[in-house]
């Protein structure tokens, strides 16, 4: 064993050993904290650690790349002739162009990219400098550089392990699209970390542990530099080590880990950094490549049948055209609409759904004075998924949200419908709208974007890294809505809150939970308080009596569970409040976020041309009601107390979910439900990919 670590490529094997050990310990810790949801069967244990080791080795093939390149290109046998230097230059330029020009997405964090570029430049200068020195000098500095590489790598691996722990605590998954977004929008995320955790002490602790691990690891480095190896042997070893990551990239995917019916087991068997890379490269999945499909004409025929409800008439006999004329016999109501999407508002926070914590007293009181929807579900687990569903009324498609994709302007949206009706259409956000691509998305889809930049500094009483306190946001909304009213036009304002988000900080003296607790309960209660204050302030305004207030969550606080797509992890509240205009009622109809836009328009009795796949819930019979829930890969369809889930690798499964516990029992596939589920998602993907969901 000592000979392996003292080999010329020994540092690469050393860091691989350390990486696997750290990953093994991380997996054990995550298993311990997930013990309540984990099924401790022999198969699950073997799968978690066996498949986990396989993915750890797969990640190591990429981790070894910088060590392999450094060792391979610091040799006494090459760079003695000019053409060899030219070859090195061409190689480095090609490497740079590949990674930083072609493969890095345009919205990648510019500061991070610049930092990496400077690091590469610094490394190259040092590299060339070493190649021009004497052999003794080079050997000495090869040792120093390799030791620095190893120490830095150990520290970063440990830092990643801690990051995975915090990520797991919040999302109960390995890294995914959320982690990619966190890297891209590093300003908010780093600020969030600094406000949420004792980051200084964490770094100090990691540095100490890194030193402890580094001391035994570094003793083989000098021996490896002095070890004798022929050019032929070096070329052979380097070639193998350089081909391994290529083989991993071409032959392996992250779906091998889905071996169990227990979702915690599946996630634990992955490798966080490998999952991060998979999410980074696959921000959009081709439905036809990864999911079961049917002839497009058949899929559209099924969806057209589902969309054939009273008050709806197709404008064309073309099978691939879903545009309908939506009409109501009653006169249109030119009422203002304020749509408040609340950050991470799980249904379980409200007393109406069983909470005993009294953290939503305003919403609990409001429920009896509103249309209160009790069987309502979020489309996804991220804010952008909620915003997508609420604005576009279309089922979630696999991969990244439409909000984050390129070429997402000019789509048929709730904002575009209101705009054609002469409304002022706005998106109002307490943070900076560049986050999650909100400015570009809403600005390109008939919304006027009003973000933190529009709020005067002297009007901000409290803020954290995500944005201003919800009170300050709503105070600005009042000012904006007063201005809208004075213009003489009706207005539609979509407001997005931010306070119910880690680090869970808010102004002192507002509620009975001190902000020093930095608890989810406190943040929820503060947002609830801010909504109540906003409605009280609005009641004094001349536009209040002609306004419909819609309060809906963007997603749940957590969607974790033993099973895929636990329905309780998607259950959210929806309240529509307009005293004197809308009769209070508890609505038990099954629906999801894509139905909000057409339901609002239905309450206003608006006649319009629709491309929404969502529907006015009051136009559906009990047999027609359904809901859509999803992760970025799992596509769920809830109907008739059944849940059909489509997975990559063309898998479709059916479950009988428990709507109280979130558990789900496997069921034989019902072909009609399966066909409907497949058709809805296939049609949504087709419309978006072909540019047919434009206005």
What are the C-alpha distances in Å from 175 to residues 59, 164, 274, 289, 629?
Answer: 13, 7, 8, 23, 20
With CA atoms as reference, report the closest residue to 380 among 370, 371, 372, 392. Answer: 392
Q: Determine how β-strand 627-630 pairs with β-strand 324-326.
A: unpaired
Q: Return d(Cα 471, Cα 405) in angstroms, integer.
A: 31
In sequence order, the 6+-apart residues with CB closer than 8 A to the CB of 251 are none
DSSP code, position 122 = H
Q: Return d(Cα 383, Cα 439) in angstroms, integer.
A: 14
Residue 368 token pair: 């009896």
DSSP code, position 370 = S
- Whether residue 550 contacts residue 575, with contact meaning beta carbons closer than 8 Å, is answered with yes
With CA atoms as reference, report the closest residue to 240 among 123, 88, 71. Answer: 71
Pure H helices in 172-286: 177-184, 186-196, 199-218, 221-226, 231-251, 263-268, 272-281
Q: Which CATH superfamily is domain 335-620 in?
A: Alkaline Phosphatase, subunit A (3.40.720.10)
- With a cut of 50, which residues of the chain have pLDDT below it? 78-79, 101-109
With CA atoms as reference, report the closest residue to 386 among 283, 308, 494. Answer: 494
Phi first, then psi, for residue 427 (nearest 5°) are -120, 120
pLDDT, tens digit, 9 for 90 and up, residues 425-441:
999 999 998 888 899 99
Q: Return d(Cα 221, Cα 523) in angstroms, integer.
A: 51
With CA atoms as reference, report the closest residue to 284 among 437, 392, 398, 161. Answer: 398
- Whether residue 614 contacts residue 595, with contact meaning beta carbons closer than 8 Å, is answered with yes
- DSSP of 569-610, one letter per residue? GTB--EEEE-TTTS--EEE---EEGGGHHHHHHHHTT--EEE
With CA atoms as reference, report the closest residue to 643 among 625, 628, 633. Answer: 628
With CA atoms as reference, report the closest residue to 272 among 166, 357, 418, 190. Answer: 166
309 alpha-carbon distance from chain centroid = 34
pTM of the predicted model over 0.85: no
Q: Return d(Cα 694, Cα 691) in angstroms, integer.
A: 6
Instruction: Assess whether the previous peptide bond of 287 is cis (omega < 30° from 0).
Output: no
Residue 679 token pair: 């058709």
> Which sign, positive or negative, has the C-alpha torsion 468, 470, 475, 479?
positive
Beta strands in 329-391 (DSSP E): 336-342, 371-373, 376-377
Whole-number pLDDT of residue 138: 58
Q: Return d(Cα 22, Cα 53) in angstroms, integer.
A: 11
Helix, strand or coil, per DSSP, at residue 389? helix
With CA atoms as reference, report the closest residue to 232 among 81, 90, 75, 80. Answer: 75
Q: Where are the domains of the chain?
A: 2-77+135-281, 335-620
Strand partners, 450: 428
Q: Based on the number of CB atoms within 10 Å of its own CB, is 100 exposed (0-12), middle (13-18) or buried (19 or more)? A: middle
What are the C-alpha distances in Å from 554 to residues 155, 543, 573?
Answer: 36, 26, 10
> What is the number of other CB atoms lying within 10 angstroms of the CB of residue 514?
12
List for the chain the helix, strand, coil content (%; round to 5): 55, 15, 35
Q: Return d(Cα 539, Cα 602) in angstroms, integer.
A: 24
Q: Based on the number of CB atoms within 10 Å of its own CB, is 410 exposed (0-12), middle (13-18) or buried (19 or more)? A: middle
Q: Based on the number of CB atoms within 10 Å of its own CB, is 180 exposed (0-12), middle (13-18) or buried (19 or more)? A: buried
With CA atoms as reference, report the closest residue to 664 among 354, 266, 262, 374. Answer: 262
Q: Which residue has the tokens 């066909």?
A: 675
> What is the number of other CB atoms lying within 10 angstroms of the CB of residue 592?
29
- Whether residue 329 contacts residue 349, with contact meaning beta carbons closer than 8 Å, is answered with no
- Whether residue 254 contacts residue 13, with contact meaning beta carbons closer than 8 Å, is answered with no
Residue 614 token pair: 């969502």
Residue 651 token pair: 């898998």
Q: Return d(Cα 55, Cα 628) in angstroms, integer.
A: 31
Q: Return d(Cα 335, Cα 338) in angstroms, integer.
A: 10
Residue 286 token pair: 């081709």
Whole-number pLDDT of residue 108: 43
Pure H helices in 487-593: 520-539
Whole-number pLDDT of residue 406: 82
Q: Which residue has the tokens 């691989």?
A: 16
Whole-number pLDDT of residue 434: 83
State which H helix or E strand residue 635 sits in.
strand 635-639
Q: Return d(Cα 89, Cα 102) in angstroms, integer.
A: 19
> What is the number of other CB atoms lying within 10 angstroms of the CB of residue 308?
12
Whole-number pLDDT of residue 4: 66
Helix, strand or coil, per DSSP, at residue 337? strand
Q: Return d(Cα 332, Cα 603) in angstroms, integer.
A: 9
Phi first, then psi, for residue 35 (nearest 5°) are -55, -35
Q: Return d(Cα 575, Cα 549) in angstroms, integer.
A: 8
């Amino acid at each position: 064993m000592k000979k392996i670590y003292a080999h010329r490529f020994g540092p690469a094997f050393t860091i691989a050993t350390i990486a696997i050990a750290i990953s093994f310990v991380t997996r054990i810790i995550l298993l311990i904290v997930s013990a309540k949801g984990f099924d401790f069967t022999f198969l699950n244990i073997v799968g978690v650690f066996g498949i986990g080791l396989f993915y750890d080795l797969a990640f190591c093939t990429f981790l070894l790349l910088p060590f392999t390149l450094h060792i391979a290109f610091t040799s006494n046998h090459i760079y003695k002739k000019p053409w060899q230097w030219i070859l090195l230059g061409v190689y480095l330029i090609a490497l740079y162009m590949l990674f930083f020009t072609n493969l890095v997405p345009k919205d990648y964090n510019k500061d991070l990219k610049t930092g990496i570029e400077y690091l590469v430049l610094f490394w190259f200068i040092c590299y060339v400098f070493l190649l021009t020195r004497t052999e003794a000098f080079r050997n000495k500095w090869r040792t120093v550089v390799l030791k620095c590489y190893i120490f830095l790598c150990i520290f970063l691996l440990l830092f990643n392990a801690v990051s995975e722990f915090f990520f797991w605590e919040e999302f109960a998954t390995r890294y995914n699209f959320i982690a990619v977004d966190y890297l891209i929008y590093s300003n908010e995320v780093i600020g969030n970390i600094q406000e949420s955790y004792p980051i200084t002490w964490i770094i100090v602790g990691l540095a100490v542990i890194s030193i402890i691990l580094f001391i035994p690891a570094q003793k083989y480095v000098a021996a490896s530099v002095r070890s004798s190896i022929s050019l032929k042997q070096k070329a052979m070893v380097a070639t193998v080590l350089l081909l391994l990551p290529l083989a991993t990239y071409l032959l392996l995917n992250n779906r091998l880990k889905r071996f169990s019916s227990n979702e915690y087991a599946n996630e634990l068997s992955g490798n966080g950094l490998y999952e991060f890379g998979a999410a980074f490269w696959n921000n959009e999945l081709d439905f036809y490549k990864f999911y079961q499909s049917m002839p497009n004409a058949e899929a559209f025929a099924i969806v057209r049948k589902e969309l054939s409800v009273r008050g709806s008439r197709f404008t064309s006999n073309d099978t691939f055209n879903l545009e309908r004329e939506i009409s109501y016999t009653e006169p249109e109501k030119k009422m203002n609409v304020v749509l408040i999407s609340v950050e991470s508002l799980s249904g379980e926070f409200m007393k109406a759904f069983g909470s005993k914590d009294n953290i939503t007293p305003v919403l609990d009181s409001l429920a009896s004075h509103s249309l209160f929807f009790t069987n309502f579900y979020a489309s996804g687990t991220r804010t952008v998924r909620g915003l997508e569903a609420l604005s576009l009324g279309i089922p979630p498609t696999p991969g990244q949200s439409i909000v984050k994709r390129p070429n997402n302007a000019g789509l048929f949206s709730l904002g575009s419908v209101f705009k054609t009706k002469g409304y002022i259409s706005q998106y109002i956000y307490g943070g900076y709208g560049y986050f999650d691509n909100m400015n570009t998305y809403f600005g390109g889809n008939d919304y006027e974007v009003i973000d933190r930049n529009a709020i005067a500094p002297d009007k901000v009483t409290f803020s954290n890294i995500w944005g201003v306190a919800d009170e300050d946001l709503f105070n600005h909304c009042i000012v904006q809505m007063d201005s809208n009213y004075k213009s003489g036009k009706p207005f539609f304002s979509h407001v997005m809150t931010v306070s119910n988000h880690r680090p869970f900080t808010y102004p002192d003296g507002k509620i009975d939970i001190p902000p020093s607790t930095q608890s989810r309960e406190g943040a929820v209660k503060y947002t609830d308080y801010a909504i109540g204050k906003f409605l009280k302030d609005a009641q004094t305004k001349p536009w209040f009596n002609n306004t419909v207030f819609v309060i809906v969550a963007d997603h749940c606080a957590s969607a974790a569970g033993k099973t895929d797509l636990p329905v309780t992890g998607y259950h959210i509240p929806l309240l529509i409040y307009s005293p004197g205009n809308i009769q209070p009622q508890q609505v038990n109809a099954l629906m999801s976020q894509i139905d909000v836009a057409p339901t609002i328009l239905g309450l206003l009795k608006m006649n319009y041309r629709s491309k929404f796949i969502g529907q006015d819930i009051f136009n559906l019979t009990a047999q027609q009601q359904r809901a859509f829930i999803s992760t970025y890969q799992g596509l769920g369809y809830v109907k008739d107390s059944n849940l059909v889930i489509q997975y990559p690798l063309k898998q479709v499964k059916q479950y009988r979910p428990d709507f109280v516990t979130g558990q789900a029992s496997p069921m034989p596939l019902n072909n009609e439900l399966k066909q409907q589920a497949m058709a809805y998602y296939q049609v949504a993907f087709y419309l978006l990919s072909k540019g047919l969901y434009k206005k």
